[in-house]
Amino acid sequence: MGNSSEDKIKLYSNDHKVELVLTQPGQDDDEISLGQLVQKIIDGKKTIMLCTLIALLITLVGFGGYNFIMQDEVGSVSTVLSFNFKGIKEGLNPNEEEFNINELTNKKVLEDTVSQLGLASKGIDSETLRKNILIQGIIPEDIINQMTLINQMAEKDVSQLEKLNEMEYFPTQYKVDLHISKDMDLSGEEAEQILTSIVSNYKTYFMDKYNDRKVFSSAITSSDLDRYDYSEYIMIVDDQLEEARVYLEEKQVEAPEFRSKTTGVGFEDLISQIDFVRNVDINNVQSIIDTFVVSKNKDRLSTIYRNKIQNLTIEMDQYRQEADSLRAAANEYKKDSMVVLGEDGLDTAMEFTLESKAYDKLIEDAINAEKMVAEYRYDIQRYEALLNRLVGQGEAEVNIDITPYIADVEEDIGNITEKVEDLVNNMNTTLDDYYTREVFKGSVKMDVPAMYSSNSMAYIKKFTMALAISVVLGMMIGVMGALSKGILQEEGQGGPNEE
């Protein structure tokens, strides 16, 4: 054996002597020094570089190919919507039906967006948008903490589970994501425009669906004068103004202090304008028509009066029946009473009838119905008088020259038509302001502007990490290969001496 140092330990027993020899490797034994390792690594640098390069190529092809083939999404655009209207905290719509956030992806909303932005040219339709929209309710941290606490308490006390089951929370905020795929061929700015347009169209859809907004239009225009007789024309305009007045009275009760910032008027002002047109302008021209029987065709006018009388009679009879039914119900209604004992007990007791809101409502409705009967009766009598006058002139063969009055009537009707058109525009603008600035102000709001987030940054981070790992692995494999190759070459040349 080569030069080495030995430690000898002698062990004795009664019959035998055992000698153990511990041999420690000397500096001339077979070993690889740090310098030799480094040299072998340097000698195998080509192997290391080749392994590293192969690892990089595998990563480039594998990672890049996977993302190109499998990863369809290139980014997403997000926003946060908040809802603020009566009932939302109970999970209800303004009409007290169950709130459904998925109406955001209503077909009309999405089709309007596709049309407005010309998305069809990119092959994007409403169904494409719908499939790529994700909506998630946002639950505040304090609600989550409260639920967590109750859940923890329930682990110790099962009765706490009832509180958890009873606890309901309806989100008032929602996160909306629109995922953008490669085949949509959209820039980040275009994606943001799409989501913003969807929200805007949803606001319009929401307001149109859940308000009682009436859109008024002029029932007739000056060009329609050729189609109607003068009296018929005035009737149509007056009926339209009466309908508008009834609606505006309801709005006046809802918002007595409201005043449009655009028109500068409130509902009470609009009612006053309607009353002026009806009581002054319409009454003046109607009096001329009635007094002088101004008509283009008296036979046609006679038919108009008869039809008017018939329709008014039908409506009056309906109100009369309603009034009679309400009066009968009120007479049969038994109010609650209270007996107050006197000094001598029942002999001097007094009975008092208690107030009843139900009874009072019956009487109030009956009185209103009777008022309508009286109004219809007055109108019927007026038209009967006009009809009788018209028939009387025909029977007496009275031929009054109405030519001087026709020009006045047509001029007055033209002025009325212009006033009504201006009034209708004023009403619609005022109502628009009322619903957008009062009723639905902040009902649907974008808390966060639509913001596009590209997947490229996440892709770059993952790709960079994959490259770094591949370099490390490649170098490790290369180093191991270089060392193995060096050792095998050394052994092939004879290796170290052995005894």
Per-residue pLDDT at 62 exceeds 80? no
pTM: 0.55
> Three-state DSSP class for 245?
helix
CA dihedral 291, 296, 301, 304 (to 10 degrees): -120
Neighbours of 178 (CB within 10 A): 22
What value does the mean pLDDT take over residues 49-55? 81
* Residue 119 burial (10 A CB sphere; 0-12, 13-18, 19+): buried
Any idea what the Cα angle at residue 362 is, between residues 358 and 368, rounded to 5°?
A: 140
CA dist 36 and 261 (Å) reads 91
Q: Name the DSSP letter for residue 446.
A: E
Q: What percent of the chain has pLDDT over 70?
A: 75
More confident: 463 or 138: 138
Q: Give me the pLDDT at residue 492, please.
A: 64
If we measure between CA atoms, which residue out of 195, 179, 175 comes closest to residue 74? 179
φ, ψ for residue 18, nearest 5 deg: -110, 130
Per-residue pLDDT at 467? 74
Nearest-angstrom CA–CA distance, 182 and 462 = 19
Measure the CA–CA gap between 478 and 491, rounded to whole angstroms: 20
The whole-number average pLDDT for the span 47-73 is 71
Domain boundaries, the chain: 5-68+471-492, 72-210, 298-396
Give the pLDDT band of residue 342 (cuts 50, 70, 90). Answer: low
Mean pLDDT, to the nearest integer, of 344-369? 71
Max CA distance (Å), the chain: 171
Which residue bears the tokens 């994959």? 466
DSSP assignment letter at 355: P
Per mean pLDDT, which range of 163-172, 290-299, 356-365 is the poorest? 163-172
**Is 20 a residue whose pLDDT tops 70?**
no
Pairwise CA distance, residues 460 & 353, whole Å: 85
Fold classification of 298-396 (topology level) = Helix Hairpins (1.10.287)
For residues 85-100, give the mean pLDDT.
88
pLDDT at 276: 95
